[in-house]
Structure formats: C-alpha cells, structure tokens
Amino acid sequence: MKYYSTNRSVPEASLSEAVIKGLAPDRGLYMPAGINPLPQAFFRDMQRMTFQEISHAVAEAFFGEDVPAGELREIVYDALSFDTPVVPVTEDIYSLELFHGPTLAFKDVGARFMARMLRYFVSREGDGRPVTVLVATSGDTGSAVANGFLGVEGIDVVVLYPKGKVSEIQEKQFATLGRNITALEVDGTFDDCQRLVKAAFLDEELNGKFRLSSANSINVARFLPQAFYYFHAYAQLQRLGKAENVVFCVPSGNFGNLTAGLFARRMGLPVKRFIAANNRNDIFLEYLKTGEYAPRASVATLANAMDVGDPSNFARIYDLYGGSHEAVCREIGGYRYTDDEIREIMRETYRKTGYVLDPHGACGFGALRNGLQPGETGVFLETAHPAKFRDTVEAAIGAPVEMPERLRKFMEGDKRSIGVSSAFRDFKAFLLAREA
C-alpha cells in the first residue's frame, strides 16, 4: 500500500517511510492510497471472534501487503492484549471502555501498536544509528507512548514535558519507568517542548548520530489501529441483538479517534452515523454549522485531552470527503459541552445509572443523550478511566472513585526525570552526551 500526503506535493511513501517519518515532508498527513473493504463473511463471523482476532483481520486489510503475515499477527497479539468491552449505561446507550490498557486511556491501543510496528521496520531496515523517539507531551500522550515503548528493544524514548504543568498522576506514568524511557522535565511550557523536538528533527549533527522518530498521534501506525475497536464494539452489539442503526459518538480533540471510525465505515462496518463531542473547543462543531474551518487558540477545560484549537486530523476528514461540507454533515453530527454541563452529565448519569463517567466520556454520553433518535443504538467511546481525573469526578458525583491497581502502582514509583532548560543547545548537548 502506498501512502499519499493530504497536501499532495510530495511523492507517495511506503508504509515503512510513513511510519518512520510520521509527518509527510510537505507537512501533510499520510493517507492510505486505498481502503480495502472486508468480506461479508467477516461481518457474519465477527460476533464469535475475540478483540485480537478481529483486530488481526482489520490489520491485514490495512497492512497485509507490507508486513509478512506472521509478523503482523505477532504485532497485533502483542500490542492488543487487553479488552475493549461494551458496557450498557442506559437501554440504548453503551460505553465502549477503551481504558483497560497500561495507562488506562485509549491512546494505549495506538501507542503499543506503533511501538511494535516501528520495532519491526527498524529491525529490517536499521542502519546502525540508534533509534530515538522524541515525544513532547502536555500529559497523556507521554504516558501512552512511554508505556507503549517500554522494554521495546532497539528503541529509546525521550519524553519532554513542561515542569509543573502536568498532573502528578500523568507525570508518574512516564517519569518513573526507567529502562529505555527517559523523562526530561523542561523548564518552560508545552510549546517549548514542541519547539525543542522540532528543532532536533532539523539538526544535522543529531540526525547524523541518531535516527530520530516521532510517536506523534498523526502517525499512521498509531492512527489506523484505532479502527480495530469500532469493529469489536459492533461485534459485541451483534451478540446483544442491538446492531441495527448504530451511532458512534466520539469525544474529540485532534479527531484521530473519530477519523479511524470513518475508515472502519469505509471498510464496510455498518455504522449509521457519527457524532463528534466537543468541549468548549468547538472548532469542528463550528465547521459543521458554517462550512468554515476557523482554528483558534485552545481554552483549558475539565476534559483537557480535548483542548485542541486546530485539530490535526481535520485534514484527513476533509480529504476523505473530497472537501464537501455537505458530505461531511451527512455522516457526522456534533455537540459541545461547557465545564458546568460536563459536571452535570457526570452527576446525573451517576445518580440515575450508577455509571461513573470521566470528563471526556461525559461529553460523549451527553451528545448521545441529546442526539440519539428513536430506533438507534448509541455507543460512546469512554476514552479514559475516571480515576485519572479523580478529583474532578469525585467532586461532581459526590462519591469516591475506585483507584485501579495499575494506577496505584504508578503512584508508588519514584520520579526519575532529568531537568533541562528550554534552550535548544542544552537539549542537544544532553542528547549527544547520551551516546557514550
């Protein structure tokens, strides 16, 4: 399979180039040149298959031309060794719980898959330079990527994060790991962290010594595997006899998760429509209403992983629909929620059903409560475990939130970050000194 850039001003890339580079050289996002539909038999048999079996079949459709069957099977089975169950919340609304991976958030799926695929390509095409993944994080991406790559042979990960600006839970999830994971505590902002990573990619000396890679969420090896759990959710609805008129509702920030659902639909998954749930960063909703895409600075909200003012995957959505606003609106609807509304949804849902939502899932559930039509079955993606936002959730529902064992373990670990200034020369000196 070839991968083209949404900006269409560079030649198509192979899968391995697209995975190692991440972003296309013209700053566009890579898209597969074709989308292979899955056979009818698959949709019939799916309800008897496990998450790994389903994912393997979907991965074959995406990557089967480029990765030998045995390798691909190993990547899938190794990366996706946890469940993504569908849990009823009301009679018509189900929660697709994507938080049963190592860092209790949906990004684990893509991060683990990408780590294993990158290891495969690097082992095949290595040139002696050590592979170093650089990742700037404002919190959640760093933990998913660090845990996804933890112990992956031949790949070092350097996580840059802004000092004092991530929560303790988030910091513990990437700064306590050790082994092939290094956490750099940058005396600056998240933007400084991103600037350092970008400068490293442009630095000749660093690129001569290391093979630098980014584990950005736009990477096709992180992005496409997010289609797997839409199939798995549908299979579970089939088993429940609820697979007619299925509507998926996705709490969205950079829109990678939702876009992966659009790919699932193009592969033949019978989804009726999608709903994008936003917090006050409602750039996409404004686009649906007006046809104008007008990015703006993000504002801080309770659902902070959705605080995005210029969603990177908008370029992919626009490309999938050939730029037609009308076509986008036929398949995707949208709602937005303020912090007060998010608290109200968490409180009411807990009171009426006993289900504990996290602030992101609350936007998803709220949008289904507002937008589901009679005869439809709604599934919202519950993207993080509520314990990751414990204080907010407990204050909203007025009850304690159980801390999963995995999260408690992270909290007991010792922080091992290395402090650096926000000057590029210090960051570069640090990287060069590591080699010895």
By annotation, the residues acting in catalysis are: 107
For ligand PLP, the closer CB: 162 or 261: 261
CB of 424 to ligand PLP, least distance (A): 27
Contacts of 69 (CB under 8 A, 6+ apart): 60
- Candidate list 142, 188, 256, 366; residue touching ligand PLP; CB under 6 A: 256
With binding defined as CB under 6 A, does residue 282 bind ligand PLP? no
Q: State the binding string over 292-311 for ligand PLP (x if CB under 6 A, else -).
A: -------------xx-----
Looking at 173-181, 245-253, 417-425, 427-435, which segment touches ligand PLP (CB under 6 A)? Answer: 245-253
For ligand PLP, the closer CB: 72 or 317: 317
CB of 79 to ligand PLP, least distance (A): 17
With binding defined as CB under 6 A, does residue 103 bind ligand PLP? no
Q: Quote the tokens at residue 349.
A: 């849902």
Looking at 86-94, 170-178, 254-262, 345-353, which segment touches ligand PLP (CB under 6 A)? Answer: 254-262
For ligand PLP, the closer CB: 54 or 306: 306
- b/e burial code for range 269-297 (CB count within 10 A of at least 16 → b): bebebbbbbbbbbbbbbbbbeeeebeeee
For ligand PLP, the closer CB: 52 or 141: 141
Question: Cβ-count burial of 71 within 10 angstroms (0-12 exposed, 13-18 middle, 19+ buried)?
Answer: middle
Q: Quote the tokens at residue 106.
A: 């949906």
With binding defined as CB under 6 A, does residue 140 bind ligand PLP? yes
CB of 220 to ligand PLP, least distance (A): 14
How far, in Å, CA of 149 to CA of 156, rounded? 8
Helix, strand, coil percentages (3-state) for the chain, rounded to 5, are 50, 15, 35
Report the DSSP beta bridge partners of residue 419.
185
CB of 259 to ligand PLP, least distance (A): 8
Local structure of 303: helix, strand or coil: coil
Alpha carbon separation from 141 to 8, 263, 367 (Å, rounded): 28, 22, 25
For ligand PLP, the closer CB: 82 or 424: 82
- Candidate list 162, 251, 366, 378; residue touching ligand PLP; CB under 6 A: 251
With binding defined as CB under 6 A, does residue 195 bind ligand PLP? no
How far, in Å, CA of 369 to CA of 345, rounded? 10
CB 254 within 8 A of CB 276: no
Looking at 129-137, 154-162, 181-189, 252-260, which segment touches ligand PLP (CB under 6 A)? Answer: 252-260
For ligand PLP, the closer CB: 234 or 255: 255
What DSSP line would sit under 179-227, residue for residue?
TTEEEEEESS-HHHHHHHHHHHHH-HHHHHH-EEEE--TTSHHHHGGGG
Interface with ligand PLP by CB under 6 A: which residues?
105, 107, 140, 251-257, 305-306, 360, 383-384
